[in-house]
Amino acid sequence: MVHRSQSPRDRPAAYPVAVPETDRSAGQPGTQTLARGLRALVAVAESPAGMTVQDVARTLDVHRSIAYRALQTLADHGFVRPGADGLYRAGARLAALSQAYLPELRMQALPVMRELADGIGATVALFVAEGTSAVAIEMVTPTTVGMHVAFRQGERTPLDRGAAAYALRAAQPPLPGEPEQVRLVRERGYAVSHGEIEAGLHAVAAPVRGAYPPACLNVITGTEERIDAAAPRVVEAAASLAVAAVGDIA
């Protein structure tokens, strides 16, 4: 089985959305400590192999002792776990936190995504808009084919390119200067992209109407021929989640 993983870098987008500013209050000691702790947590959680204290110190650009205190505090609360090899890895408490995010929508989406992934023979992801990024919060790979594209939950792609980005932006009120692809989504109900996030990958996405934050289903494949056939099925699957999306808001 071929398992391809993509890790696109988040880049500034033209889309005028709110961006979290974790270091805005860097001059305030308490806030600075919190910001460093959160940055350390994200760094460790996004490192599959784990990170040493020195790795985190370099990432935060702080002394080793500061990085150690941040990691120990996170470990005390179960967010990271220290290993005998000196590496810190994601802790079990993160699993509980992740399940608390849009639980109804995710629960309703998973069986729909499984059916879609197996029917099309391609990976299906549930994306939401956050800041300048489209963030994958669920992913299902097909069981009917050996080759598929896969990536981690929490992967981010920029909101200025790619099928998921166009679908997410089309789910919101029109804004001046939007790409033509966003207008097309509003007309036909889905977005298509070819190699915009990673060369050789193709995607089709449809917005989940009524979801907040904006959400979409995105099919990702290395086979361009699957995209045209997948479009109506993705639209149908996304439409079936609209009720769940409204329920999550309530």
Closest by CA position to 124, among listed 201, 207, 230, 219: 219
Looking at the predicted structure, is the pLDDT value of residue 168 above 70?
A: yes
Looking at the predicted structure, is the pLDDT value of residue 117 above 80?
A: yes
Contact 185, 167 (CB under 8 A): yes
Full set of structural domains in the chain with CATH: 29-91 (1.10.10.10), 101-249 (3.30.450.40)
Per-residue model confidence as pLDDT tens digits over 35-87: 999 999 989 988 889 999 999 999 999 999 999 999 999 999 999 999 999 99
Extract the tokens encoding 152: 């981690």
pLDDT, position 32: 85
Per-residue model confidence as pLDDT tens digits over 175-210: 888 889 999 999 999 999 999 998 899 999 999 988
Q: pLDDT exceeding 90 applies to what percent of the chain?
A: 50
Q: Which residues pair with 148 in a beta bridge?
A: 3
Per-residue model confidence as pLDDT tens digits over 131-154: 889 999 899 999 877 556 666 677
